[in-house]
Amino acid sequence: MVLEINEKEREILRHALEVYEEELKNERVRTDNRKWKTALRDEQEVIDNILKKAA
């Protein structure tokens, strides 16, 4: 899938992902459920990869 976005959209998407990524980090720290922690880590890795591509 190819997503074509302009510069302003890219900036807003990056910001939204950065904010959400921070929330994921905080949730990982607060949870004791290992399955949930693993799922959050996996989701964070996907977001990290998207952010690298959007840089």
Tens of pLDDT, residues 9-48? 999 999 999 999 999 999 999 999 999 999 999 999 999 9
| Rounded-to-10 torsion of CA 40, 45, 51, 52 | 170
What tokens does 34 get? Answer: 């290992």
Distance CA 35, CA 33 (A): 6
pTM beyond 0.85: the answer is no
